[in-house]
Amino acid sequence: LNQILQVMNAAGNIIFTNLPIIFAMGVAIGMAKKEKEVAALSAVIAYFTMNAAVNAMLVNSGQILDDGSIADFVIQGTITSSVGIQTLQMGVFGGILVGLGVSFLHNRYYKIEFLLIFCYP
């Protein structure tokens, strides 16, 4: 019985651990007018990009040290690991912001087609 409950606990925890990325996708899908699949993929990419950019800023400012540890002067609990990237603890709010930004950009630019012009010498 204990092993079954541990498996159920792990299955539930994975959802709550990744709730920000689920919210980013959900908001982007819900707010997109057309081509919702593209909006969902864009939200995932934007969420990864946001976390990587925040990580780079934390490393550049000296809050995350070169060995990956957190500096002593950083307030406890402000930096966490999200999808394997050390970033600020933004929680679901960060996912909602990403979803809103992606849906705005998606609704505005999803119908743009790029024209490739090949120049031959």
For 95-113, what is each residue's pLDDT tens digit?
A: 999 999 999 999 998 888 8
Q: What is the pTM of this model?
A: 0.84
Local confidence band at 121 (pLDDT 50, 70, 90 cut-offs): low
**DSSP 8-state assignment for residue 35:** -
CA dihedral 17, 45, 22, 31 (to 10 degrees): 160
Question: Could you report the per-residue pLDDT of 45-88, keeping only the tens digit for each?
Answer: 999 999 999 999 999 999 999 888 888 898 898 999 888 899 99
Tally DSSP H helices, then E strands, for the chain.
4, 2
